Amino acid sequence: MQAVLEIKGVTKEYSTEGGKVRALDNFSLRVGRGTFVALVGRSGCGKSTLLNLAGAMDFPTSGEVRIEGASTTGLGEQQLTALRRSKIGFIFQSFQLLRTLSVVENVELPLLLSGVGAARARALERLESVGLAELAGRMPYQLSGGQMQRVAIARALVHSPALLLADEPTGNLDTTTGNAILALLHSLVRTEQATLLMATHSAEAAAIADCVIHLRDGRMDGTAAAKD
Amino acid sequence: MPQLTLFYRLILRPMLREPGRTLLMVIAIAVGASVVLAIDLASEAAAGSFHSSMESFSGDNDLELTAVGGVDERCVGLLDTQPEPRRVTPRIEEYARIVQDGETVPLIGLDLVAEAGRYAKEPAQLLPNGWNPFSPAGKQDGAMAIWVTADLGFKADDQVELQINDTRTLFRVAGVLPASAPSGTSAILMDIADAQQVTGRRGTVDRILLKIPPGESMEQWQSRLGKLLPAGVSIQPQGTKTAANRKMLSAFRWNLRILSYVALLVGAFLIYNTISVSVARRRPEIGTLRALGASRLLLLGAFLAEAFALGLAGTLCAIPLGRLLATFTVRMLSLTINMLYVSSTAGGLHLSASTLLLVFVSGIGVSLLAAFAPAREASLVAPTEAMARGARDHDVQQARRQLGWYSLASGAIALLLSFLPPLAGKPIGGYAATLFLVAAAALLMPLVVHGSMRATSGVLQRLFGIEALLAARSLSGSLRRTAVLVAALATAVAMMTSVAIMVGSFRQTVLLWMDKELPADLYLRASGTAATDRHPQIAPALAAKIASLPGVLAVTRFYAFESDYQGLPVSIAAIDTNAPESGRDAGFFSGRTSGQVLRELEEPGTVTISEPFAYKHSLRAGDSILLPLGSTVARLRIIDVFYDYGNEHGYLVMSRKNMLQYLPTLPTSNLAVYLQPGAKTEAVRHAVQQAIGGQEVVVLTNAELRREAVRIFDQTFTITYALEAIAVLVAIMGVAGALVSIVLDRRREFGLLRFLGASSAQIKKMILYESACIGLLSSIAGLCLGYLLSLLLIFVINRQSFGWTIRFHWPLPVLSAALGTVLLATVLAALYPARIAQGLNPIDVIHEE
């Protein structure tokens, strides 16, 4: 079966004033459809770098990243943008909603950026799936943190991406709300058959994943722990 | 110095990290302040230190004697024979055109025998080649002697051909006077007897200067001489005419100065915007500083210091830039003053301490003033609210209705102020109304931006896609940043629009006026540059000669004297009343035809006056005035008032027949020739030219004269357009700078959009749409505000400054071109910020959070 995400021997180095920093070191990973993967590790271990590479936002220094079989290496700006539009959805720790757009407008944004018509209906459908259809007309500042993250999830899923990338999605939420968000993510991954790669510090979050990867200094610490 | 360290770290370093934005702001202030400096320097040189060209070689005297039509030369003898010792200097004052290069310079006739003793004390260079310049050389080889100032480029013994009135005459240079001649201007001197001969002033002189002995006051002398001399002779302290001209020019200078502040006002908006955005962007940082112990005063000082630094840098750049601009401006102003007011020579550009102070106060003061409100806001940030990102924009959104009420109040104040009468001859109420109107518009901007963007975002999205929607939402969602920006650009556009409407209306009014005022088919005048206060004479016999030509129906003569009335200059003209009746409204307040008015003007003791004269002296039809004419003082009844746009200080017009009773040797400067029905203009023109023979007289057709008038008009208002264009330039630079700020402030949003699938081209499009929206909104708001401002300019400021009635007219081609340019320039100004936005690394900006 073709993997949704395949990372082969990826090394990522950044140049800083103090010299080169290796964020990922010969890292490999293969994730199949409908899998929920949790990336855990201390700050600076390479979680965010891995998400950026997986999201076609950045290129590896060496190695290869493939998303549904398509290698990001050698792609131009336009092709990377097209890849992100069709196959990837992002969820951020601080929600990152555009405060000038209403809830539904935020959700339909990826579709509109891709030039997709009938965006409103699909956006409302997504909002329905996260339980916020009745708040479609509100502005972000009128929502609670949990509601904002639900909107962000709806936005990430609106174009039915194969790969969902979440960076500390519960980091800015209290435990109860955070757990509700995790449950929602889990259920959506199941129903949508999307692949979720989630960076987290939270043990509760990692606990509901299908597979937990521990990162340490840019390498996998031990082996990926797959669960039943 | 911990404060300095903090200032560097918190203010200077962030400014230096964004050099493009900082540079744009500095340039905006520099251009604004340099315009103020340039106009101040140039108007001081051209008008402030006004010196009539005719003041050349006038020396140090106490009183001057003048009379309409010239002072009888017997008065010189009368004054000389009085027992008290005094110095009497009669003068002939005329303009001569140097045929070789076409330059027109003052020609002064002095009694060189009497004056020789005085000027013999002048430096030795007055005596080149052994000539004594103040001893008449007499005619040699048939040529009269002249003395020229060195700047004219002649040397002793050169032959110079001069056109005086309509006649060319050959002269010989007897000596060269230093370039720094007494008045500092170019001049040609000749003996008074020769001057009387070549100018046709037989038996009269133009002015007599008098040095009185110490002891009695000038008033006592004026009273005593008044009894001695004919009633028509005016006896005033020397320089009265210069003072009157300066007074007349003061309105012109005021309006020019006010216009020069427009660019600075726009700059102030941009400073406000920059500091305001800086405060909004750094609220978390400010909150942290407050939590760490920074006092409110320290924060207030820090942001004011930022404005000071921007203002200082801009002002320092403005000084050389303004000096450079002034060199171009002074030429244009000089031209305008010569065309509209009085023949004069611009002085040098002097950067005085007061001018420097003005520039520093303008540049730095305006920056500090504009920055005060946002700096105060920074000082009021509470540590607890520091992390509430976007809260301030939300506040502005909430406050926009309240600002709308303030706007209404400001507009109402503007309306009330516009009804105030002039104060000390200046339209202070009108200027204040302008400021309040601009303030009203600025206060209304949050409501306008929010409302218009909300209302049109759907349409914009349908027409231009999601990028346009995002741009529209960003504008309405960031009112703090965008409303001020739109207000700044709208103000500049409004000023440009209002001036364009005012000038366009004025131009249209003049065109309509010319239809009434120029009914003849051909017009004749002495060749050379025309000027409002110069009336070179043409041969008296020419009128009769032309009247007898086939195809000519009538010829009317015109002549004007420059004089003063109640301390203000006036032109007193005499016209023939035999112009054919056109049967049309001829531009009189009464609505009568020219034939009706001219018939009444034939009655003795009658006069018509121009609108500016009527306005300045609060006169109207039916009033009577006392006017010194020749050797008497005439009581004249005003029979009508006519619209006139050819002369700002105003006209008094009498019939030639009546004027001859006071001035029996009345010359002629212009002829108007009316053709018989069916006569061919070109054929008659040719015949007229034949009749003129060798005289230096030009014949213009009606159409040519109009074209010439329109050319002069357009030339006169070039500087006005230039000033407004500079204000718009400042605003557009400000838009570019502010867009850079907006891009940096919203980098997180742009990064996010990239994560959500936006291409860099879409980001660029978004910025360009945003800029286009700013340009479009500013243009529309500016057009509306400009319309209101133009009403103030036309019906309040112009009326109170100059007394002209201007009919409102929309100069559509000019406005469309100007607004189109503004819109295009605004979009182009966004290219640089758009490039910055495209270059942002989404990963970096998204992880800054």
Cβ–Cβ of A141/B477 closer than 8 Å? no
Mean local confidence (pLDDT), B692-713: 87
Residue A176 has pLDDT above 90, yes or no: no
CA separation for the pair B229, B505 (Å, rounded): 48
- Which chain A residues have a beta carbon less than 8 Å from that of B760? 77, 81
CA separation for the pair B602, B657 (Å, rounded): 7
Q: Which residue in the set B752, B757, B843 is minimally distant from A96, CB to CB?
A: B752
Instruction: Band the pLDDT of B136: cuts 50, 70, 90.
Output: very low
- Which chain B residues have a beta carbon less than 8 Å from that of A58? 843
* Distances B599 to B576, B579, B581, B654 between C-alpha atoms, Å: 11, 10, 10, 12
- Structure-block tokens of residue B8: 């560097």
Q: Which residues have C-beta within 8 Å of that of residue B251, sequence separation ≥ 6?
A: B425, B426, B801, B802
A86, A100, A143: which to substitute to probe chain B, counting the most B Cβ within 10 Å? A100
Cβ–Cβ of B762/A113 closer than 8 Å? yes
Q: Which residue in the set B477, B478, B847 is minimally distant from A48, CB to CB?
A: B847
Residue B295 has pLDDT above 80, yes or no: no
CA separation for the pair B51, A119 (Å, rounded): 75
8-state DSSP, B676: P
Give the pLDDT confidence score for residue B389 in this predicted structure.
46
Q: DSSP string covering B353-422, please?
A: HHHHHHHHIIIIIHHHHHHHHHHHHHHT--GGGTT-TTHHHHHHHHHHHHHHHHHHHHHHHHHHHHTSPP
B478, B756, B763: which to substitute to probe chain A, counting the most A Cβ within 10 Å? B756
8-state DSSP, B10: I
Residue pLDDT, tens place only, B782-831: 999 999 999 998 999 888 888 888 889 988 888 898 888 888 888 888 88
CA distance A112 to chain B (A): 6
CA distance B484 to chain A (A): 18
Q: Which residue in the set A90, A94, A159 is minimally distant from B849, CB to CB?
A: A94
Residue B844 has pLDDT above 60, yes or no: yes
Give the pLDDT confidence score for residue B387 in this predicted structure.
46
Mean local confidence (pLDDT), A126-143: 90
Give the pLDDT confidence score for residue B634 in this predicted structure.
92
The string over B404-421, giving b where at least 16 C-beta atoms fall within 10 Å of a residue's C-beta and e elsewhere, is: beebeebbebbeebbeee
CA distance A29 to chain B (A): 22
Give the pLDDT confidence score for residue B416 in this predicted structure.
96
* % chain B with pLDDT above 70: 89
Structural contact between residues B512 and B643, judged by C-beta atoms closer than 8 angstroms: no
Residue B839's region, left for phi above 0, alpha for psi from -120 to 50, else beta, is alpha
Residue B138 has pLDDT above 80, yes or no: no
Looking at mean pLDDT, say which of B43-47, B139-143, B573-577 comes out highest.
Answer: B573-577
Question: Mean pLDDT, chain B, as a whole number?
Answer: 83
Judged by average pLDDT, the poorest of A163-172, B535-544, B744-753 is B744-753
CA separation for the pair B498, B798 (Å, rounded): 12
Residues of B with CB under 8 A from a CB of A: 390, 394, 461, 465-466, 469-470, 473-474, 476-478, 748-749, 752-760, 762, 842-843, 846-847, 849
Residues B732, B736, B739, B741, CA torsion sign: negative
Residue pLDDT, tens place only, B143-180: 788 888 888 888 888 899 999 988 899 999 888 877 54
- Which chain A residues have a beta carbon less than 8 Å from that of B753? 109, 113
Give the pLDDT confidence score for residue A227 in this predicted structure.
55
8-state DSSP, A43: T
Mean local confidence (pLDDT), B632-638: 93
* Distances B89 to A107, B30, B69, B186, B533 between C-alpha atoms, Å: 93, 50, 18, 20, 23
- Structure-block tokens of residue B737: 């700078």
CA separation for the pair B786, B263 (Å, rounded): 15
Helix (H) or strand (E) holding A71: strand A70-71
Cβ–Cβ of A114/B757 closer than 8 Å? yes
Residue B133 has pLDDT above 50, yes or no: no
Helices (H) and strands (E) in chain A, counts: 7, 11
Question: Is the CB of A172 inside 8 Å of chain B's CB atoms?
Answer: no
Instruction: Band the pLDDT of B720: cuts 50, 70, 90.
Output: confident
The CB density around residue B394, as the number of other CB atoms within 10 Å, is: 16
Judged by average pLDDT, the poorest of A94-108, B327-341, B614-628 is B327-341
Is the full-model pTM beyond 0.80? no
Residue B514 has pLDDT above 80, yes or no: yes
Residue pLDDT, tens place only, B24-38: 778 878 888 888 888
In sequence order, the β-bridge partners of residue B170 are: B161
Residue B282 has pLDDT above 60, yes or no: yes
Structural contact between residues B521 and B682, judged by C-beta atoms closer than 8 angstroms: no
Judged by average pLDDT, the poorest of A193-197, B341-345, B410-414 is B341-345
Q: Is B69 exposed, middle or buried (0-12, 13-18, 19+ CB in 10 A)?
A: buried
Three-class HEC string of B474-516: HHHHCHHHHHHHHHHHHHHHHHHHHHHHHHHHHHHHHHHHHHH
AA identity, residue B64: E
* ipTM of the modeled complex: 0.79
Give the pLDDT confidence score for residue B609 in this predicted structure.
95
Judged by average pLDDT, the poorest of A122-126, B172-176, B287-291 is B287-291
Strand, coil or helix: B820 = helix
Instruction: Band the pLDDT of B125: cuts 50, 70, 90.
Output: very low
Residue pLDDT, tens place only, B476-510: 887 877 888 888 888 888 888 888 898 889 888 88
Residue B635 has pLDDT above 90, yes or no: yes
